[in-house]
A and B are shown apart, each in its own frame.
Chain A
Amino acid sequence: MEKKLAIIATKGSLDWAYPPFILASTAAALGYETQIFFTFYGLQLLKKKLALEVTPLGNPGMPMPLGMDKWFPVLGLALPGMQAMMTSMMKSKMKAKGVASLEELRSLCLEAEVKMIACQMTVDLFDMNRSHFIDDVEYAGAAAFFEFAGESDICLYI
């Protein structure tokens, strides 16, 4: 019988958007039936137009270019424009290293029939509009997640 992978995606930053899509697309290629349940900030990953950013704030593990982490005071990382700068640096680095874009990984997931479910409660909570999400999304709650996750071989919370 086909193996199953269930993922809960809870984070909405550029860096944290990668693990759910990388693992789901790879699992699908290996023959897993895969579902991702997007909740809270993870819902940003379902937007038609992805506008995810990365922040060095509160993330001492983030490698900084030019030794910036050594001489830049933590407060400097909160300066206006810093997040946009880090985001564009991260994106160009990914491109240079042949890392797929999130848009590409997400469409590879959909092509491989990875099922994407949005948490209806969070959609309501944040007054999000369904029309901003890609069309392939289903809307459900925790019980629906457990119906699939309860039979899964691997279950990840990201």
Chain B
Amino acid sequence: MTDFNQELDATGLNCPLPILRAKKTLTGMESGQVLHIIATDPGSVKDFDSFAKQTGNTLLESKEEGGKFHFMIKKS
């Protein structure tokens, strides 16, 4: 797994909370740092892809593991 600087547990949260929490966490991070997000909302897979495309941050990794979704986002 890619190294990350910060982790966000968004398990149990439904749309749009994982995105909003991720955005808030990224705001407090430095450019180039990586945020690891864990979510259980199946809609978040497409949503984090779209979030990255629209905000200019890079989605380094998106995978499902043990019923949870893991995302690695690098701040632009």
A26 and B55 contact, CB distance less than 8 A: no
* B23 interface hit (Cβ, 8 Å): yes
* B33 interface hit (Cβ, 8 Å): no
A98 and B13 contact, CB distance less than 8 A: yes
From B12, which residue of chain A is reached at the shortest CB distance?
A98
Chain A, interface SS category: loop
A98 and B54 contact, CB distance less than 8 A: no
User: Interface size for chain A: under 10, 10 to 19, 20 to 34, or 35 or more residues?
Assistant: 10 to 19
Query: Please, how many residues of chain B have a CB less than 8 angstroms from a CB on the other chain?
Result: 14
B41 and A98 contact, CB distance less than 8 A: yes
Q: Which of A1-40 contact B (CB under 8 A)?
A: 22, 25-26, 29-31
A25 and B16 contact, CB distance less than 8 A: yes
Task: Identify which of A26, A30, A31, A100 contacts B14 (C-beta below 8 A).
Answer: A100
* B1 interface hit (Cβ, 8 Å): no
Chain B residues whose C-beta falls within 8 Å of the C-beta of A31 in the assembled complex: 54-55
* A70 interface hit (Cβ, 8 Å): no
* A108 interface hit (Cβ, 8 Å): yes
